[in-house]
């Protein structure tokens, strides 16, 4: 089976249930039934350090039962282990890494694991929010994110050396959390960690997007995380990881579908126990493995619209907007840098963290390509008048002012909004620019309008497009400490005609059009197109110019079928895979 499955077993379970013969046998039966191939045995979590002899016993038992094994640790503080971070930025139990007590304690765990396993993974709390006096003095005049990244890079280099000293064959792997637009805030470094570590994993968990428990995370995020992390880490990227938290069996299965489309070498489920195996969660994935395997096999060489996010880039008011692009049905190809041969590109605020982005945009437009920027991205080039002019603006025509709107005018018709929507800024384009859509606001002194979409078409045939949309900024995070997405996105709630306009504007250079509701995602690969309906209602998809061979349609859910030569009806929470001519 190409879609290799792994289950993570936390330290408390390793030292408890797995030491009981009945508990171990129950685990073996569950894992075999679920077609699990490998287990991660954790040695440390929250102050509990599992004795080496217990780790050896657990490793050998699982090996004898036919499972591959590897080691893991979760770097969260617990009484008697390392120094807890100080300060009020977060109250979560992260470590202070200016403390030798912390760094040496974790090094001891890594050395222990490297003696026992060739593969060792550090779970996704390798972050710090410490503002203690030692950290404050050490950072000097650096901003906290920069200081934290340098601090953690120093500690992790030491740990990698330690692992290799204990075992020349050892691989020390870092697992990035799902929170890609906030990595740098707490010390994760997507530019240097892939160089330091021997392997890279990433979280693809999305859970329930309608609850605040773990954030209002759009389900497309799992795919973006995998593809973008692969762009950052290259051949060191290995695995993606999702969990049961805040999930019923349907949401758990959708995490598996999204993860398979990212095509990681391994898929990891967190974590072993009754919660994972109850309520049909794992059973639903196991029953769906034939379809998931087909998705994984098809998901080679992604095609579509390039979306730019350089390593360690800050998104200003565009945090996690890539999830929204995917939920508009735009087939996104994450990239860390632009190339002149790209035909369709979206650049949110994050894109201008790379100083070469402006020059690359000019080259793309000069060669007949298309570049779309958000309002926050436009704000970032108001000090570059020549680049700003390509999009039809002067600095005085771009202003940040968040405004609630009541409707969006397309082709002379105002589409009323059923859900709240805000534009992030006011725009006054030059007369050469075309206003393709306007947002209606205000009642005092009559209705008024602000551009929602503007287009500048250049002699080369290239287009420079501005979308007056945005997501949210770091100030949306509050003391409740949601590390994931703290607010519901407004973008996928736009009226269907507006969703179709934005999507088709982005994909026009690819030579096809697509009509579908929001939260129906489109994935294009070398030989296949895949559509995933993340909605709780059926969805009708109509394509033109994509060259689908609907006789090859594969769907794992009843109720999904081709309605005509260009149309597919997708059942709720399902996918369809179709060959392309």
* Residue 311: inside a domain: yes
Residue 96 is given by DSSP the state P
Domain boundary among 298, 330, 365: 298
Confidence at residue 226, expressed as pLDDT on a 0 to 100 scale: 98
Confidence at residue 557, expressed as pLDDT on a 0 to 100 scale: 93
d(CA 121, CA 123): 6
Same domain, 82 and 229: yes
Domain boundary among 249, 265, 298: 298
CA distances from 302 to 223, 299, 383, 525, 553 (A): 11, 7, 35, 4, 19
Same domain, 339 and 443: yes
Confidence at residue 374, expressed as pLDDT on a 0 to 100 scale: 98
* Residue 411: inside a domain: yes
Confidence at residue 445, expressed as pLDDT on a 0 to 100 scale: 65
* Residue 515: inside a domain: no
Same domain, 461 and 557: no
Confidence at residue 581, expressed as pLDDT on a 0 to 100 scale: 87
* Cβ 482 vs Cβ 319: under 8 Å: no
* Residue 521: inside a domain: no
Same domain, 316 and 294: no
What 3 state SS string does 289-328 have? HHHHHHHHHHCCCCECEEEECCCCCCCCCCCCHHHHHHHC
Same domain, 104 and 237: yes
Domain tally, the chain: 3
- Residue 374: which CATH number? 3.40.50
* Cβ 366 vs Cβ 462: under 8 Å: yes
* Residue 320: inside a domain: yes
d(CA 463, CA 448): 27
Confidence at residue 444, expressed as pLDDT on a 0 to 100 scale: 64
Same domain, 254 and 315: no
Same domain, 557 and 486: no
Confidence at residue 482, expressed as pLDDT on a 0 to 100 scale: 75
Residue 271 preceded by cis peptide, ω within 30 = yes
* Cβ 539 vs Cβ 533: under 8 Å: yes
Same domain, 288 and 311: no
Sheet holding 539-544, edge to edge: 513-515, 539-544, 567-570, 561-562
Same domain, 326 and 288: no
* Residue 555: inside a domain: yes
CA dihedral 170→46→90→240, nearest 10 degrees, is 40
- Residue 105: which CATH number? 3.20.20.80
Whole-model pTM: value is: 0.97
Confidence at residue 214, expressed as pLDDT on a 0 to 100 scale: 87
Same domain, 259 and 174: yes
The parts of the chain modelled with pLDDT lower than 50 are none
Confidence at residue 1, expressed as pLDDT on a 0 to 100 scale: 62
Same domain, 181 and 249: yes
* Closest to 362 measured CA to CA, from 340, 379, 377: 340
* Residue 517: inside a domain: no
Pairing status of strand 38-45 against strand 398-410 = unpaired
* Residue 118: inside a domain: yes
Q: CB neighbours (10 Å) of residue 146?
A: 15
Same domain, 264 and 360: no
327 is in which domain, residue-wise?
Answer: 305-493
Domain boundary among 254, 277, 298: 298
């Amino acid at each position: 089976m190409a879609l290799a499955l792994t289950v993570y077993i936390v330290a408390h379970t390793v030292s408890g249930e797995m030491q009981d013969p009945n508990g171990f046998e129950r685990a073996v039966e569950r894992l075999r039934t679920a077609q699990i191939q490998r287990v991660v045995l954790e040695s440390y979590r929250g102050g509990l350090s599992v004795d080496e002899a217990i780790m050896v016993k657990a490793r050998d038992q699982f090996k004898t039962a036919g499972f591959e094994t590897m080691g893991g640790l979760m770097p969260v503080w617990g009484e008697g282990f390392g120094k807890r971070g100080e300060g009020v930025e977060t109250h979560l139990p992260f470590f202070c890494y200016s403390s030798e007590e912390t760094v040496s304690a974790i090094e001891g765990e890594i050395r222990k694991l490297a003696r026992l396993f060739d593969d060792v993974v550090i779970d996704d709390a390798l972050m710090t929010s410490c503002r203690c006096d030692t950290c404050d003095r050490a950072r000097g005049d650096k901003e906290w994110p920069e200081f934290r990244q340098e601090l953690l890079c120093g500690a992790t280099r030491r740990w990698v050396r330690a692992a290799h000293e204990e075992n020349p064959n050892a691989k020390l792997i870092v697992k990035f959390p799902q929170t890609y637009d906030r990595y740098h805030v707490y010390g994760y470094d997507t530019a240097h960690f892939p160089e330091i570590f021997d392997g890279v994993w990433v979280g693809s968990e999305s859970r329930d997007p309608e609850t605040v428990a773990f954030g209002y995370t759009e389900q497309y995020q799992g795919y973006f995380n995998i593809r973008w992390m692969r762009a950052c880490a290259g051949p060191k990227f290995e695995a993606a990881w999702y969990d049961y938290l805040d999930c019923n069996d349907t949401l758990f299965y959708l995490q598996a579908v999204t993860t398979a489309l990212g095509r990681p070498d391994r898929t990891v489920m967190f974590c072993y126990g009754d919660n994972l195996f109850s309520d049909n969660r794992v059973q639903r994935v196991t029953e769906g493995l034939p379809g998931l395997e087909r998705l994984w096999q098809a998901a080679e060489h992604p095609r579509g619209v390039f979306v730019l996010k350089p390593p360690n880039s800050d998104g200003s008011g565009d945090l996690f907007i890539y999830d929204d692009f995917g939920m508009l049905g735009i087939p996104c190809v994450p990239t860390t840098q632009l190339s002149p041969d790209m035909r369709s590109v979206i650049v949110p605020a994050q894109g201008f963290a790379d100083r070469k982005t402006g020059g690359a945009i000019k080259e793309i437009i000069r060669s007949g390509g298309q570049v779309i920027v958000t309002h926050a991205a436009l704000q970032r080039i108001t000090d570059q008048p020549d680049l700003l002019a390509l999009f039809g603006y002067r600095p005085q025509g771009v202003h940040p002012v968040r405004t609630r709107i009541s409707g969006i005018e397309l082709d002379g018709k105002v589409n009323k909004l059923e859900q709240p929507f805000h534009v992030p800024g006011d725009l006054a384009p030059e007369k050469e620019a075309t206003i393709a859509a306007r947002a209606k606001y205000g009642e005092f002194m009559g209705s008024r309008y602000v551009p929602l979409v503007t287009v500048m078409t250049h002699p080369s045939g290239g287009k420079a497009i501005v979308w007056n949309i945005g997501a949210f900024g770091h100030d949306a995070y509050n003391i409740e400490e949601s590390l994931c997405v703290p607010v519901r996105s407004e973008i996928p709630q736009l009226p269907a005609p507006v969703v179709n306009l934005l999507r088709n504007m982005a994909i026009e250079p690819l030579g096809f059009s697509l009509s579908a509701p929001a939260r129906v995602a489109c994935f294009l690969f070398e030989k296949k197109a895949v559509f995933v309906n993340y909605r709780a209602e059926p969805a009708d998809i109509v394509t033109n110019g994509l060259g689908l061979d609907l006789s090859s349609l594969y769907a794992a859910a009843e109720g999904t079928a081709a309605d005509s030569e260009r149309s597919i009806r997708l059942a709720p929470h399902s996918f369809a895979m179709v060959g392309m001519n």
